Chain A
Amino acid sequence: EVVMTQSPLSLPVTLGQPVSISCRSRQSLVSREGKTYLNWFHQRPGQSPRRLIYEISDRDSGVPDRFSGSGSGIDFTLKISRVEAEDVGIYYCMQGTHWPWTFGQGTKVEIK
Chain B
Amino acid sequence: EAQLVESGGGLVQPGESLRLSCAASGLNFSSNWMGWVRQAPGKGLAWVATINNDGKETYYVDSVKGRFTISRDNAKNSLYLQMNSLRVEDMAVYFCGRAGTPGSVDYWGQGSLVIVSS
Complex Cα distance, B39 from A105, in Å, reads 11
Which residues of chain B have C-beta atoms less than 8 A from A104's C-beta?
44
Query: Which of A48, A54, A60, A97 sits near B108, CB closer than 8 Å?
Result: A48
CB of B11 closer than 8 Å to a CB of A: no
21 contacts between A and B (CB under 8 A): A1-B61, A31-B103, A37-B104, A41-B105, A48-B111, A49-B95, A50-B108, A54-B101, A54-B106, A92-B45, A94-B104, A94-B105, A96-B103, A96-B104, A97-B103, A100-B61, A101-B50, A101-B103, A102-B46, A103-B45, A103-B47
User: For chain A, which range describes its interface: under 10, 10 to 19, 20 to 34, or 35 or more residues?
Assistant: 20 to 34
Q: Does more than half of chain A's interface fall in helix, strand or loop, or is it mixed?
A: loop
Binding site for A on B (CB under 8 A): 35, 44-47, 50, 59-62, 95, 99, 101-106, 108-111
Which residues of chain B have C-beta atoms less than 8 A from A1's C-beta?
61
Query: Which of B44, B47, B104 sits near A100, CB closer than 8 Å?
Result: B47
Known A-B contacts A92-B45, A100-B59; the reply to A35 vs B105 at CB < 8 A is no
Which residues of chain B have C-beta atoms less than 8 A from A101's C-beta?
35, 47, 50, 103
CB pair A39–B103 under 8 Å, yes or no, is yes
